[in-house]
Amino acid sequence: MSRAREILAETFGFPAFRPGQEDVVERLLAGTNTLCVMPTGAGKSLCYQVPALLKDGPSIIVSPLTALMDAGLAANGVNAAAIHSGRSREENVAAWMAFKSGEAKLLYLSPERLMTERMLSALEPLAPAMFIVDEAHCISKWGASFRPEYEMLTALKQRFPNATLGAFTATADEATQADIAAKLFDRDGDVLVHGFDRPNLSLAVKPKQGWKAQLIEFLEPRRQAAGIVYCLSRRQTEEVAELLCAEGYRALPYHAGLSPETRRENQESFMAESGVVMVATIAFGMGIDKPDIRYVLHLSLPGSMEAYYQEIGRAGRDGAPADAMMLYSMADARLRRQFIEEEGASEDHRRREHKRLDALLAYCEATQCRRVALLAYFGEGGAEACGNCDVCLDPPELIDGTREAQMLFSAIARTGERFGGGHITDVLRGSATEKVTARGHDSLPTFGIGADKAKTYWQGLIRQMLAGGWLELDISGYGALRLTPAGRAVLKGEGKVEIRQIVTKRENRRTKTAIAAAAEGVDDELLARLKAVRRDLASEKGVPAYVIFSDASLIDMCLIQPRTLDEMASVNGVGPKKLKDFGETFLTALATSA
């Protein structure tokens, strides 16, 4: 280890290892197969680069993205090579020759390139001393980011029995850790968990209520800082980048639909310049080691707690204060659940992913310290309140919400537990939509009993009831709300509900009567275009036009002019099924008129 400390100082310029690093280096140098779970930004690359320089034979680093490989090549003083599709054949050949000759001691490869018979056969005479698997959670079907190509790595232990195997990840719960260790080295090794806490990150979550205004409000005091804004789609990524550029920000888009040259150019600008906003899908970030990222803003709900933790971990790697803000809505959750169902994975996998999303929603609706909730999810219970998240700094007011919860549960039960939040809200608020009247729900005792509460109030209460386990979503029923045993007990008067104070802004939305009254102010040409789209859809499906959308819904679209599915979900009469079936079609019609 004394030689390892010398390498650390002489090659990398660090006087000492950070907490946790030395344990890993010591095990890898001793030839112990090791899985290390280490927080993002804790310096995991040093944990294998130092041993790689000290071992007699060469080392292979398995990386999922070319960005990660190139980041490895840029490491101070480490003579490394990389072979990947982003380089020319001549560059790849030169890299291989440098590695084969011993000039480069580290070779970065993707799992699919490594596990070809040609590459494995070429490596055997070189007797690699060590294989390092980065982003190791990708190998586990219990993980949130399983990648089939990673599973091929299970053959390494048998093919190279004398090589030390190392695996690194920032996001793995206990089940995922056990699965990685079993697959990579048949549990013949150590598992080191060095904590998930990032105390310099200030955590905050807000319900999405006009995301454009919320985006500008968040970024305004951070104009000179570098940050990442994560979006759910390529389209939104482009839209947000354009919006921010119009507001005077240096904002660059990054998503898989851009050319490799554009992505590389934008990434290099972000890494090199100060005050750049990278507006990106999840395609951006893995392997990005820019220490002075001061914030990460999610404009939509991430896919899981693991994804959220990994993405916010890109902020504040220099240890200085940084902010992690998330905006979310139930429309986000609905879309995420649709993504899970459409993945084509096994039923067990889908069930696990829904549970992960449930955990993230509960985190969003937390009434106690967010850091405590985050660490508890990853198995680190007993943490004290951080004093640095929005809940600690501005504690929510907890009030007795039993009466309102019973009203909500009654409406759900009386409508047969077959409808989503939008319809239930209409019943509670006494909105006589076509869907409500067609099913006779305007004659229920619960019709209109919640008319004194804003629509956003009921949306917020539904979120808290889902997060708290009083309600659940029927995924196969397009997001219908169902009562859990705990919810039924409250409905029967056998339990109480405490809720976070739901602050509602003054509604911009209008009742059906008001919308009808405002129809004279609607763009007649736009309304006619939407009616034509509705007529064509109705003809195609052989149903009356109102089955597609009512006139009130089309008028509402003209008034709001939604540009995203999230905004379309707020239109009167647009439920989960219609959003899925017709949302994009009407968004296209609205965009054509812009």
Round to whole Å and give the CA distance between 360 and 507: 27
Confidence of residue 513 (pLDDT cuts 50, 70, 90): very low
| Mean pLDDT (whole number) for 232-243 | 93
The pLDDT of residue 287 is 57
Would you say 294 and 315 are in contact if contact means Cβ atoms under 8 Å apart? yes
pLDDT of 243 > 90? The answer is yes
Pick the CATH number of 201-389 from 3.40.50.20, 3.40.50.300, 3.40.50.2000, 3.40.30.10: 3.40.50.300
The per-residue pLDDT of the chain, averaged, comes to 85
Question: Which residue has better confidence, 397 or 219?
Answer: 219
The pLDDT of residue 351 is 75
Percent of the chain with pLDDT over 90: 42
Question: Which residue has better confidence, 561 or 244?
Answer: 244
Name the β-bridge partners of 228.
Answer: 278, 296
Give span(s): CATH 1.10.10.10, the chain: 398-500
Please give the CATH number for the structural domain made up of 2-193.
3.40.50.300
Question: Which residue has better confidence, 298 or 197?
Answer: 298
The pLDDT of residue 516 is 43
Confidence of residue 250 (pLDDT cuts 50, 70, 90): very high
Question: Which residue has better confidence, 397 or 399?
Answer: 399
Round to whole Å and give the CA distance between 541 and 147: 39
Would you say 531 and 449 are in contact if contact means Cβ atoms under 8 Å apart? no
Question: Which residue has better confidence, 113 or 556?
Answer: 113
Q: Please name the helix (run of DSSP H) or strand (run of DSSP E) that holds residue 195, with its range, or none.
A: none
Checking DSSP bridges between strand 130-133 and strand 190-193, what pairing results, if any? unpaired
pLDDT of 381 > 80? The answer is no
Residue 117 neighbours by CB under 8 Å, 6+ apart: none
Name the β-bridge partners of 473.
Answer: 481
Round to whole Å and give the CA distance between 296 and 279: 10
- Stated pTM of the model: 0.63
Which runs of consecutive H residues, i.e. helices, occur in 304-384?
305-312, 330-342, 347-364, 370-377
Give span(s): CATH 3.40.50.300, the chain: 2-193, 201-389
The pLDDT of residue 13 is 77
Summarize pLDDT for 281-307 with one digit per residue, the tens.
876 766 566 889 999 999 999 988 888
Confidence of residue 128 (pLDDT cuts 50, 70, 90): very high
| Mean pLDDT (whole number) for 8-23 | 84
Residue 292, classified by CB atoms within 10 Å of its CB into exposed (0-12), middle (13-18) or buried (19+), is middle
Highest-confidence range of 22-26, 171-175, 555-559, by mean pLDDT? 22-26
Please give the CATH number for the structural domain made up of 398-500.
1.10.10.10
pLDDT of 398 > 80? The answer is yes
Q: Of 124-133, 379-388, 512-521, which gets the smallest average pLDDT? A: 512-521
The pLDDT of residue 506 is 44
Confidence of residue 510 (pLDDT cuts 50, 70, 90): very low
Distances (CA, A) of 282 to 141, 248, 498: 20, 24, 36
Distances (CA, A) of 324 to 202, 229, 329: 6, 10, 17
| Mean pLDDT (whole number) for 388-396 | 91
pLDDT of 180 > 50? The answer is yes
Token pair listed for 24 = 């890993």
The pLDDT of residue 244 is 96
Summarize pLDDT for 57-113 with one digit per residue, the tens.
999 999 876 555 554 444 455 778 888 877 889 989 999 999 999 999 999 998 989
> Ramachandran region of residue 188, left (φ > 0), alpha (ψ -120 to 50) or beta?
beta
Please give the CATH number for the structural domain made up of 512-593.
1.10.150.80
Confidence of residue 521 (pLDDT cuts 50, 70, 90): low
Confidence of residue 439 (pLDDT cuts 50, 70, 90): very high
* Polymer length of the chain: 594
The pLDDT of residue 512 is 38
Name the β-bridge partners of 285.
Answer: none
| Mean pLDDT (whole number) for 179-201 | 88
